[in-house]
Chain A
Amino acid sequence: MKRALAWRSLLRPGDVGVVVGGVALCVHSLLSLWQGGRPDTAIVRAGGKVVAELELSAPRVLDVPGPLGTTRIEVEPGRARVASDPGPRQYCVRQGWLTQAGAVAICAPNEVSLSLSGRGADYDSLNY
C-alpha cells in the first residue's frame, strides 16, 4: 500500500490528464478504425444493372421487377434482406438479413442481387 502511494506521488495532475487523453485516443482509434464490416449502403442490381443504392439508415421496402416477377428488398437500419422472390429455390430469401459489408444475396432466376457495401469491407464476396 505504501509502495503504491509512493508511485502515485510521481504522477502530477497533468500526467493523469495525459494518461486519460492517451486512453481516450486508443478507444477512439479502436472504434473508428476497427469497424470494417459495418455496411452503409445496399446496392440492388437487376439484370446486371444497378437499379438502386439505398442508405442503410432508414427502413425502406423496394420492389424490383425481373423476368419471373417482383423481388421485394427490405432495408432496415444497418441491415437488408430479400423479403420475397419468385425464384423456385428461394436461396436469396433464406439467406435472411445481411449485416456485413461485402455480403451478397443473389436471386439468380429473377436476375436480382442485393449487396452491402461499406468502408473497409471484410470480404470481397461470401460463399454459402
Chain B
Amino acid sequence: MGELRAYAKLAGAQFRSVTSYRTSFLVEVFANMGATVFDVITVFVLFRATPEVGGFNLQQAVLVVGLSSSGFALADMLVGNVDGLKNYVRAGTLDAVLVRPLPALPQLLLMDMPLRKALRVVFGFVVLGGAVAVNDIDWTPARLVLIVAAPVAACVFFGSIFVISASLAFWWVDSGQIGSAFTYGGRDFTSYPMTVYGGWFRALFAYALGFAFVAYQPALALLGRADPLGLPAWAGYVSPLVALAAAAAAAGVWRAGIRQYRSTGS
C-alpha cells in the first residue's frame, strides 16, 4: 500500500510539473499526436504514386500501420521515457533512484511520465479501428482475441525494445542515438509489409529481432491471407509469445545493467 502511495506521489508531482508550463504542454500534446499522424499520412502519400506496395493495397497497409502505431504509441507513453536513462547515468543522478526503497525501473518511468503522449495513443487506436472497418475481415473467435491481443503484444514488444536500448547506457554512456535505430527504426520498419524489405536486412530485423511479429504477421492472420514470405498461417497468433520473450530478454538486460552500474561519484 505504501509503495502504491509513493508511486502515486511520483506521478502526481510529474503531472503538476508538466502543467506548470501550460502553453508548451498543450503544444507538445498536439505535436506528439502529429508525429503519429505524419506516419500515417506518409503511407497515404506513398500510395498516391502506386496502387500496391510490396503486394499490399492501401486498406491492408493501413491495418499494418494501425497495429504498429497503436502498439508503439502505447509503449512510448508508458515506457518510452526510459530513453532518459543515459542522462541519469552520465550525471550520476541514478544514485538517488537506487537508494530509495522502490524498484528502479517503475520509479524512472513515473518520474518522467510523458502525459504529452496520451493523445497520440488515442490516434493510433483510431487508425487501427478505421483499418478494421475498411478491411473485410472474416471474424472468428480466434481473430477477435487477436485484434485485442496484437496491439497489447506490440506494446510489450516495443516497451522491451525501449528498455533494452536504454540499458545500453549502463555499458556505453555515449551510445546516443543507437537506441533510436531499434525503437523509432522498429516503428518505421513495422509500419510496412515485410515483403518491402530485402535480403539480410529483412532476415535480421524481421525474424532475428522479431519485428515481423509486431504488425505484419498479425495483420496477415486477421486478413486471412497467406504469407508471401512463406511463414505458416498460425505465425500471426504467436505475436504475444514473441512479445513475452522480448520482455524476458529486456528484464535480463536491465538487471545485468543495474548490477553493472557504477556511479560517477559526483
Q: Are A and B bound to each other? A: no
> Which A residues have a C-beta under 8 Å from some C-beta of B?
none
